[in-house]
Structure 1
Amino acid sequence: MSFAVAYSTPTFGVDPDRLAAFARHVEACGFEGLYVPEHVALYPGATFGGHPVPTTLPYGDPLDLLLFAAAATERLLLGTGVLLLPYHHPVVLAKRLATIDLLAKGRLRLLTVGLGSLPGEAAALGVDFASRGRRADEAIDVLRLLMSGGPDGVSFAGEFFSFDSLCSFPQPATPLPIHVGGSSPAAARRAGRRGDGWFPGGLLPPDERRRQLAIARSAATEAGRDPSALQYTRWGSATMDEETLDRLRDEGVTRVVIGGEEDELERFAERFIARRSGG
């Protein structure tokens, strides 16, 4: 099991000195990677889990934040938790992702995509909220196609995107993993059919989380993919104890993402990362 850290832009803001220092600290503590969230725009009346959302939360662009963090570090893997895929055109996104991965020397390994839960955000971007799942499915297919295409180009004809003999270079240093986030059976199926991993939300009841993990693995099998290769990422806490981590290991979790201030992260690393590595 590996451990990564979430950088909360709504809490910490978009401060270059804070972000660079935070990323370097996370790397020095021995964490595997750094995750950042995304929201393109908020509006009065928007809610997360039934709770009102302050409209002034400073969500920076996640890919720009990750590229900045990559420049301040050497080995830290880069992740999104989550990139709202329906709100990005996959042809443009393929270029951005490949560029970041190359500039980061192959460290964009934890890209996690989701659908978004705010209808007003989707409407502002011209995306039909009801069809955003189908749009995301197509976008994943387009990304994989473009980022593995040859000099003669690739073609695609779908409900939302279509092109003929299109070339997208540069390409990532190695094939880019795409993890799928979300707390619904549909997200679990998407992870199994198309994803390299599944990253469910933190509020699912244990029985429902187990059910959705079974859905993801079953969907992978039905798609002719190896269900055991599906990475399983979960949210955690800097105050987690050994018993909790043992339970997560038993559930098949491969990565835990935690948040917190620098001192909390350092204490967690001393308890679980340094000890494991013999440091």
Structure 2
Amino acid sequence: MKFCVSYSTPYVGVDPDALLGYARHAESCGFEGIYLPEHVVGYQGAKVGEFDLAPDLEYVDPLDALAFVAAGTDRLLLGTGVLLLPYHHPVTLAKRLATIDQLSRGRVQLLTVGLGSLPGEATAVGVDFASRGRRADEAIQVLRLLWSGDAAGVSFHGEFFDFDGLASFPRPYRGMLPIHVGGSSSPAARRAGRYGDGYFPGGALLPHVRAAQLELARTTAAEHGRDPQALGYTRTAPIDMTQQRLDAYVEQGVDRVVVSASGRTLDEQRAELSAFADRFL
């Protein structure tokens, strides 16, 4: 089992010392990596499920922030949870991700992409909310195509992206980046199976629903000639997770757990991470 942390600036503020202190402490405790969330823009009336999302919450750009974390750490893997893929053009995104990966010597290993659930964000960046799933599917294909290309360039002709002879350098440090798929819906599970290197479902779902979604992801992988057992399975857990819950996750096939400290100060957060590490790391 691998253990990672997440960090969310809206609830602790954008403080470079706090972010880097949190990341460095997680690294010293033995955590594998760190995840940052994304929201492109805020607006009045935005909701995530039943919860209001205040428009003035400070969501940093996750890729810029991960580059900052990479410069101040040595081995911590870098992840997004989740990057809102439909709202990024894959040609420019391929360059940004490869750059961070090169400069961090291959630590962008936890890239997790999702669709986003706020129609106002889609409108703000000129993306049709209803077709964002198909757009994301194409974007994953474009990213991998660009990273696999050579100086002769690659071509793609799809519904949303169309180009000929493009070459994108630098490539990622190891030539290709894993792409994990987030989301707690059946389409997300199918997307993970068809295109993903891992599946990271969110939300609050009953155990039998989660089991069905994982099975759907693996079945979809097999249908497309991919190894269903190679699909990673990541889940979130509370920072006070018990051994019983960890055992249940192992039984369910989870291979990576992500926790987040709930303290409001860096000292409180460090104490929570240390306590977790004492139990499980």
Q: TM-score range by the shorter chain?
A: over 0.9
Distance (whole Å) between structure 1 residues aligned to residue 41 and residue 183 of structure 2: 19
State how many pairs are aligned: 273
Tell me the SS of whatever aligns to 1:169: coil
CA distance in structure 2 between the aligned counterparts of 1:35 and 1:62, rounded to whole angstroms = 9
Aligned to 1:230: 231
Measured in 1, the distance between the counterparts of 2:30 and 2:52 equals 36
- Give SS of 2:240's match: coil
Alignment of 1:68-217 (within 5 A): 68-174=68-174, 175-217=176-218
Deviation at 1:189, TM superposition (A): 0.3
Q: Percent identity among equivalent residues? A: 65
The range that moved more, 240-249 or 200-209, is 200-209
What is the rounded CA distance, in whole Å, between the counterparts of 1:176 and 1:101 in structure 2?
8
**Structure 2 length-normalised TM:** 0.96
- Aligned position for 2:264: none
Q: Tell me how far 1:28 sits from its aligned partner.
A: 0.3
Q: What TM-score, normalized to structure 1?
A: 0.97
The separation in 1 between residues aligned to 2:12 and 2:101, in whole angstroms, is 25
1:24 match: 24
The alpha-carbon deviation at position 53 of structure 1 amounts to 1.1
Q: Would the aligned equivalents of 1:221 and 1:227 in 2 still touch at CA under 8 Å?
A: yes
Checking the alignment, whether the CA contact within 8 Å between 1:202 and 1:234 is kept in structure 2 is no
Q: Which runs of 4+ in 1 moved over 2 A?
A: none
Within 1, Cα distance between the matches of 2:163 and 2:131?
20
Superposition pairs for residues 44-59 of structure 1, below 5 Å? 44-59=44-59
For structure 2, the 5+ residue unaligned runs are 262-268
Quick one: distance in 1 between partners of 2:50 and 2:141? 32
Paired position in structure 1 for 2:276: 268
| Equivalent in the alignment of 1:244 | 245
* Mean Cα deviation higher: 110-119 or 51-60: 51-60
Give 1:246 shift. 0.6
Q: Alpha-carbon deviations, 1:34-73, whole Å to 9, x = none?
A: 0000000011100111111111110000000101001110
Deviations, residues 126-173 of structure 1 (Å, cap 9, x unaligned): 000000000000000000000110111000000000100110000001
Question: Take 1:148 and 1:139, find their aligned partners in 2: how far apart are those partners?
Answer: 14
What is the rounded CA distance, in whole Å, between the counterparts of 1:237 and 1:266 in structure 2?
14
